[in-house]
Amino acid sequence: MAADPSAEERAAVDEVLGAPETGWDGGERSARDLRVSRAPEDQRTLLLPVLHALQARVGWISEGGLNYACERLQVPPAEAYGVATFYAMFSVTERSKTVVHVCDDLACRIQGGADLVAEAEAADLPGVQIVASPCLGMCEQAPAIFAQRSGRPEVALGGATMPTIRAAVPEDSTVVCAGGVMAPQAWDEGSRPGLRLLARFGQADPLTLESYRDHGGYRALARSLELGADATIQEVTDAKLLGRGGAAFPTGVKWRAVADQPVTPKYVICNADESEPGTFKDRLIMELDPFSVVEALTIAGFAAGAETGLVYVRGEYPLATERLAEALAQAREAGLLGTDVLGAGFSFDIELRRGAGAYICGEETALFNSIEGKRGEPRNKPPFPVTHGLFGKPTAINNVETLINVLQVLTMGPEAYAALGTEGSTGTRLFCLSGHVERPGVYEHEHGITLGEAIEAAGGVRDGEPLKAVLLGGAAGGFVGPDRLDIRLTFEDARAGGYTLGSGVVMVFDEDTDLVDICLRIARFFRDESCGQCVPCRVGTVRQEEALHRLVAGRTFGSKADELALLGDVAAVMRDASICGLGQTAASAVQSAIATFGLFEDGAAS
């Protein structure tokens, strides 16, 4: 017989879905149920929220809990199991009530993260499980931890040491997420006046709508409603705003394509599943200026003709989630969301969804599947999201940073916006400076700044050490050496020079860094995060990591040159034949390290 849910598990599910209405969806069997039933509406999209509720309340997802969720949602248990096992934050086996994820990814591992994992495991804290984690998006406060504490709120903490972990663990722990203050420009009287995207950081209270409005908030939406949808899109197009999520697609073109679709409903989505190692700018925006995300997505909805917006925020971002939820509630209360936004006859609301620990869900089509309650596996493109996005409907999906740029476009006008930056890269850009820099954090610079200038603005290499390498664009980006500090950080220069800005990652490694260890960590990351759907990526990421390990151990198949050639072949296959960007870029950092620094060549520095 199928396992039954506990009372607590029932309550967790019912809290999301409401109490069951009939005997056919988990309630008591009534006389009427014996004679009449109705197909429940398709609620599969609520699977992830329900799994979150079970995980958070009970600490794991039991067979009984999953069965009850399936009964309520009418999702086949095998499918729900496939979804539950897809995400790192969920466990389908019973485990410790407290699980501490300690980041040992790039920026953290060079600042004690890897040692902290070992130390925490050795401490053998009762009732606590320590898990080495991929990048938690708090690189500016490395090393970082993220603790899941069943029955209690999750916490993400930076500058972590053993005392931090010990403080977060106890039942009566009062530790809460600390707000990041890691945008040094915003606290510097000299640089603050030049800030646009970060202008409200440290100035406006992120928790009150009134303060947001006092600092220029909701002027862009008012202007957009005045202009009308068409002209709004035109301004965004004229401003030549390009997407900041990594693909640099023109935002105006995307909105126009969705607006032109005859199909309804349409959706706009804010992709806040920031998971690229080394990236944390979107988190800071959501934590320190959450209303800007709400306002910008509302404008997107108005322009594209959508009545529903969704923010898909990374699961490991509890503070960002909390503040966005608060911002949404206040906006709704003030009539800035709802059936008649600002009395303009425009109906729009925003739903907040949480990821659950899967890098791949930052890929737009994987994100759709995740929202729909499926495994977060990317879809083949075409069809593209603008015609077949969420629930197969036209969808405009934009990164957080891209969206808040729209506020700039509408408040300063497209000409003034386009005058910023360069011809091919208008406006300002956020860069995530981490690793061995003096003042890590998010920096806003006008497009056109060089890599060297960006590092200098963050105080240069820490302690004046010589620079060894910079990882540009994230794990899916590539390494550049100290000889290339003059490269300009614009879309057009990157394209011409064969490097990528990705999500604005500038991770600095000093002379003492073990680059081989960094490459192994990157390979492990992609092997772990590959969704397994397509063969080139599923197999290729494993083969890449294996070959690297053989090279490190000096147990190569054939010569070193043979192994390097194999790595090159695997890289080419993944790049050419993978379904999505994850597989296509899974070898780029490793390949660039080999090409730039001659890793594994005899006599090469490592």
Which stretch in 26-34, 507-515, 518-526, 548-556 sits in contact with other proteins by CB under 8 A?
26-34
Q: CB 392 → other proteins: shortest distance, Å?
A: 10
Nearer to other proteins, 7 or 31 (CB): 31
37 contacts other proteins (rule: CB under 8 A): yes
The torsion angles phi and psi of 369, rounded to 5 degrees, stand at: -60, -40
Q: CB 71 → other proteins: shortest distance, Å?
A: 11
Which stretch in 22-30, 124-132, 258-266, 522-530 sits in contact with other proteins by CB under 8 A?
22-30
Q: Which amino acid appears at position 485 of this protein? A: L
Contacts 24+ apart (CB under 8 A), 89-92: 89/52, 89/55, 89/148, 89/315, 89/316, 89/356, 89/357, 90/51, 90/55, 90/61, 90/356, 90/357, 91/55, 91/59, 91/60, 91/61, 92/60, 92/61, 92/62, 92/66
Nearer to other proteins, 40 or 424 (CB): 40
Nearer to other proteins, 7 or 39 (CB): 39
Beta strands in 368-466 (DSSP E): 395-399, 428-435, 441-446
Nearer to other proteins, 256 or 393 (CB): 393
Which stretch in 34-42, 278-286, 288-296, 335-343 sits in contact with other proteins by CB under 8 A?
34-42
Among 36, 118, 329, 561, the residue binding other proteins under the rule CB under 8 A is 36
Give one word for 576, left, alpha or beta, with left for phi > 0 and alpha for psi -120 to 50: alpha
Query: What is the 3-class SS of 582-606, one letter each residue?
Result: HHHHCCHHHHHHHHHHCCCCCCCCC
Which stretch in 32-40, 214-222, 336-344, 521-529 sits in contact with other proteins by CB under 8 A?
32-40
Nearer to other proteins, 2 or 416 (CB): 2
Q: CB 23 → other proteins: shortest distance, Å?
A: 7
Among 7, 18, 28, 39, the residue binding other proteins under the rule CB under 8 A is 39
Which stretch in 21-29, 170-178, 203-211, 587-595 sits in contact with other proteins by CB under 8 A?
21-29
Residue 293 in 3-state DSSP? helix
Among 7, 18, 28, 38, the residue binding other proteins under the rule CB under 8 A is 38
Residue 314 burial by Cβ neighbours in a 10 Å radius (0-12, 13-18, 19+): buried
23 contacts other proteins (rule: CB under 8 A): yes
Nearer to other proteins, 30 or 85 (CB): 30
Nearer to other proteins, 21 or 562 (CB): 21
Pair of tokens at residue 317: 């971002």
Which stretch in 35-43, 47-55, 306-314, 400-408 sits in contact with other proteins by CB under 8 A?
35-43
Cα–Cα distances in angstroms (integers) from residue 205 to residues 176, 200, 284, 293, 327, in the given order: 18, 8, 14, 15, 11
Nearer to other proteins, 29 or 495 (CB): 29
Q: Binders of other proteins among 313-372, rule CB under 8 A? A: none
Among 7, 18, 28, 35, the residue binding other proteins under the rule CB under 8 A is 35
262 contacts other proteins (rule: CB under 8 A): no
Q: Binders of other proteins among 448-507, rule CB under 8 A? A: none
What whole-number distance in Å separates Cα of residue 427 and Cα of residue 424?
A: 10
34 contacts other proteins (rule: CB under 8 A): yes
Nearer to other proteins, 37 or 85 (CB): 37
Q: CB 165 → other proteins: shortest distance, Å?
A: 46
What whole-number distance in Å separates Cα of residue 467 and Cα of residue 513?
A: 10
The sheet that has 155-157: what strands, in order across it? 128-133, 98-103, 145-149, 155-157
Q: CB 379 → other proteins: shortest distance, Å?
A: 17
78 contacts other proteins (rule: CB under 8 A): no
Q: CB 328 → other proteins: shortest distance, Å?
A: 31
Residue 31 burial by Cβ neighbours in a 10 Å radius (0-12, 13-18, 19+): exposed
What whole-number distance in Å separates Cα of residue 159 and Cα of residue 101?
A: 14
Residue 127 burial by Cβ neighbours in a 10 Å radius (0-12, 13-18, 19+): exposed
The torsion angles phi and psi of 350, rounded to 5 degrees, stand at: -125, 135
Nearer to other proteins, 41 or 602 (CB): 41
Among 3, 4, 29, 115, the residue binding other proteins under the rule CB under 8 A is 29
Nearer to other proteins, 39 or 553 (CB): 39
280 alpha carbon, distance to own chain's centre: 8
Nearer to other proteins, 3 or 416 (CB): 3
Size of site (CB under 8 A) for other proteins: 11
Among 32, 219, 381, 549, the residue binding other proteins under the rule CB under 8 A is 32
149 alpha carbon, distance to own chain's centre: 22
What whole-number distance in Å separates Cα of residue 511 and Cα of residue 509?
A: 7
3 contacts other proteins (rule: CB under 8 A): no
Residues 6 or more apart in contact with residue 102 via CB below 8 angstroms: 113, 116, 117, 120, 130, 131, 132, 133, 143, 145, 160, 165
Nearer to other proteins, 35 or 555 (CB): 35
Q: CB 226 → other proteins: shortest distance, Å?
A: 38
24 contacts other proteins (rule: CB under 8 A): yes
Question: Can you list the alpha helix ranges (DSSP code H) found in 471-555?
Answer: 491-497, 515-529, 535-553
Q: Write out the residues near other proteins by the rule CB under 8 A.
A: 1, 23-24, 29, 32, 34-39
